[in-house]
Amino acid sequence: MELASEGFRRERPPNLHVGHTRFMRLAYRPGLQQLRGVAVGLVVVHHLFPSFLPGGFIGVDVFFVLSGYLITRWLLFRSDYSWRELAKQFFLRRFLRIIPALVFMLIGVSAISLFLLLPVELRYFGKHAVAALVGAANITLWTEGGYFDQPASEKPLLHLWSLGVEEQFYVVWPLILILCLQFAMKRRLDFSVVLVAVGSAIFFTSLGLSIWLTPIAPDFAFFMVFCRAWELVSGGLLALYMSRERNRQFNHHAVRGLLSLTTIGLVVASFAISPEDGFPGGLALIPVVLSVIAIASVESLGAAGADFSIGGRPLLFLGDISYALYLWHWPLIVFMGLSLQGPLSSSAKISLAGLSVLIASVSTYWVENRFRHFPKTGKH
pLDDT mean across residues, the chain: 86
**Weakest-pLDDT range from 6-20, 60-74, 356-370:** 6-20
Q: CA-to-CA distance for 98 and 174, rounded, in angstroms?
A: 17
Does 55 map to a domain? yes
Which pLDDT band holds residue 169 (cuts at 50, 70, 90)?
Answer: very high
236 with 172: CB under 8 angstroms? no
Per-residue model confidence (pLDDT) at position 249: 63
> Over the stretch 25-34, which tens digit does the pLDDT of each residue have?
456 678 899 9
Does 21 map to a domain? no
| pLDDT for residue 270 is more than 70 | yes
Per-residue model confidence (pLDDT) at position 10: 32
Q: Which range of residues forms the domain containing residue 287? A: 6-13+35-372
Q: CA-to-CA distance for 297 and 54, rounded, in angstroms?
A: 27
Per-residue model confidence (pLDDT) at position 259: 84
Q: What percent of the chain has pLDDT over 90?
A: 64
Amino acid at 241: Y
48 vs 34, 329, 333, 344, CA distance in Å?
A: 21, 9, 7, 9
Does 24 map to a domain? no
Q: CA-to-CA distance for 178 and 375, rounded, in angstroms?
A: 25
> Over the stretch 193-245, which tens digit does the pLDDT of each residue have?
999 999 999 999 999 999 999 999 999 999 999 999 999 999 999 999 988 76
Does 105 map to a domain? yes
Q: What string of DSSP letters covers 165-219?
A: HHHHHHHHHHHHHHHHHHHHHHHT--HHHHHHHHHHHHHHHHHHHHHHHHHH-HH
> Over the stretch 292-332, which tens digit does the pLDDT of each residue have?
999 998 888 765 555 555 667 888 899 999 999 999 999 99
Per-residue model confidence (pLDDT) at position 13: 31
Compare 33 and 9 and report the one with higher pLDDT. Answer: 33
284 with 210: CB under 8 angstroms? yes
Per-residue model confidence (pLDDT) at position 341: 80
Chain centre to alpha carbon of residue 320: 14
Does 323 map to a domain? yes
| pLDDT for residue 14 is more than 50 | no
Does 148 map to a domain? yes
Does 225 map to a domain? yes
What mean pLDDT comes out for the span 275-291?
95
Per-residue model confidence (pLDDT) at position 324: 98
Tally the domains of the chain: 1
73 with 239: CB under 8 angstroms? yes
Q: What are phi and psi of 18, to 5 degrees?
A: -120, 110
Per-residue model confidence (pLDDT) at position 376: 53
| pLDDT for residue 19 is more than 80 | no
Per-residue model confidence (pLDDT) at position 79: 58
